[in-house]
Amino acid sequence: MNQEDLTKAIKALQKAGNITQTGVVDKRTADLMTRPRCGNTDDFVDDSRGDSEYRYRRKRFTTGSSKWPKTNLTFRFINYTPDMPQATTRQLISDAFRVWSDATPLSFKEVVDSSADIMIQFASQYHSDGYPFDGKGMVLGHAFFPGNDKGGDTHFDDDENWTANSTDGVDLFMVAAHEFGHALGLAHSGDPSALMYPWYMGFEGKFKLPEDDLRGIISLYGSGEKDRYLPEKDKIKVSMIPDSKRPPIIKPYDIDPTEKPKIKGKSNEPPDPCKSHIDALTVIRTEIFIFIGKWFWRMDSRKLIPNPVEIHQFWYGLPKEVEKIDAVFERPDSKIVFFSGDRYWVFNGNHRTNNFPQEGRPLTEFNIPADVKNIDAAFVWGYNMRTYLVSGDMYWKMNDNNTFVEYDYPRDMRTWKGVPVPVDAAFKDLDGKTFFFQETDFYEFYDMKMQVKPGYPKTFARHWLQCPEAQKVAAAPMISTVSVVNDENNVSSSVALQSHILLVLLLFYKLIVY
């Protein structure tokens, strides 16, 4: 991420929080970043138009692109938080629904079958919906707008300390009432006093639905009583958020009501990365992704992030037949290209691009000969910023648009002096350095001299993963950091604050889509 992108993201955050949009992390902005919040994105109406009424409306409630076509809704608990008795959880959830039913004709009934309109789940980290939680703190929950499949489903981060009627921990009632607003069709509000404001408000002893939220929900479903309609002069036009902004509907739940849902699979244990050969490795946005078999790990800076994820649980649209990733690279347009066997797939974020066939497309579409059965490595070379594909002792350079390989290829891998054949993976880090990988070793390449640097190979497990059994010691390549502009209040620009800023901006303003 460059400084221009970071400035835009900071302004987007400031816009959501009703802070003067300077693009600089001042004290108010930094304070906002430390507050826990909802995981749904902040989709406000564009205030680029000049009329003051339009800008004023942006600060008020907005609705999503859908609402329920009925008023009698059902919900089901997939599981419960261990932080309190189940009876307490059920009461708090019931109270949160009542916030909305008291203001509208809506009613909510608990059921035990999988046809419920709203599924309620406590989950940690990756939980098969494309929107992983981040551990304790920051993101508290998220919900899908009304619709089929996952529409209305509401998820709470199980790593939080959920409490009832207490200023300690995170008050489940307040978060649930907010998330159910999304499940009913309300987007985030720019009004800091609103329940649908993105940031956690904390426990309130005698909660009353704020006027902004009341107007929003009545605009969708009407009032529960005739005398509760707002005066005509107070009615505000509803700003519809485009369909592309709503959380994508992926697939329906398939849960047997008699079975305890499995949040994380335990039958297939991931391999030990310290004892495995990598299949593919690349940088996607600001993180290194390491693929081994059907699993992948992420590295942030020089630290391996625990809890690997199965590729099919995160990269939606890969066929089940794909058991490993042979190679992967990110295009200049931020699309991600996966290779497995003699086929490839293009992804936008963690979803297969629209109209791209699920079975993938053959390598021959790149003008690669039909007898090439797999790609060993794919990487963008920092020397000329062109994409290269490697298979066995041959390599190809792709054209500027990455649509096909150049006509005077393939060429012999011996051109890359000192690089072993065949390679398992290759990539360019954020500092522009080129690395090749084979089995347990890695090689740094001297681009200007077209040869491997002296002192290589080195052990991947020790130098990159800090595995204890390896013997050699050396510094792993650094991932570039993004500097934060300090303001007159001398807001800290420490590494910790930078990481926190990036987490907020990348998650909610989609400069990085996982």
Rounded distance between C-alpha atoms, residue 248 and residue 316, angstroms? 11
Phi-psi region of 238 (alpha: psi -120 to 50; beta: other; left: phi over 0): beta
**Do the beta carbons of residue 271 and residue 290 sit within 8 Å?**
no
Residue 200 has which token pair? 């956690």
Torsion over CA: 350, 356, 357, 359 (sign): negative
Token pair 């300077």 is found at 22
Residue 71: closest CA among 117, 95, 45, 105: 105
**Do the beta carbons of residue 68 and residue 105 sit within 8 Å?**
no
3-state secondary structure 247-297: CCCCCCCCCCCCCCCCCCCCCCCCCCHHHCCCCEEEEECCEEEEEECCEEE
Residue 173: closest CA among 131, 204, 194, 143: 204
Token pair 């790149």 is found at 366
Residue 380 bridge partners (DSSP)? 387
Phi-psi region of 54 (alpha: psi -120 to 50; beta: other; left: phi over 0): alpha
Rounded distance between C-alpha atoms, residue 144 and residue 277, angstroms? 39
Q: Which amino acid, residue 502? A: L
How far from 458 is each of 153, 260, 402, 461, 474, CA to CA, in Å? 48, 46, 31, 9, 9
- Which of 4, 53, 110, 179 is catalytic? The answer is 179
Q: DSSP E strands: which ranges in 356-471?
A: 361-362, 377-381, 386-391, 394-397, 411-412, 425-428, 434-438, 441-446, 451-452, 458-459
Residue 244 has which token pair? 């592309």
Binding site feature residues for Ca(2+): 83, 117, 134-135, 151, 153, 157-158, 160, 279, 326, 378, 424
179 is annotated as an active-site residue: yes
Query: Based on C-alpha coordinates, what's the Rg of the chain?
Result: 25
Rounded distance between C-alpha atoms, residue 392 and residue 370, angstroms? 14
Rounded distance between C-alpha atoms, residue 78 and residue 121, angstroms? 5
Rounded distance between C-alpha atoms, residue 107 and residue 112, angstroms? 17
Binding site feature residues for Zn(2+): 38, 127, 129, 142, 155, 178, 182, 188, 196
DSSP summary character for residue 20: -
Residues with catalytic function: 179
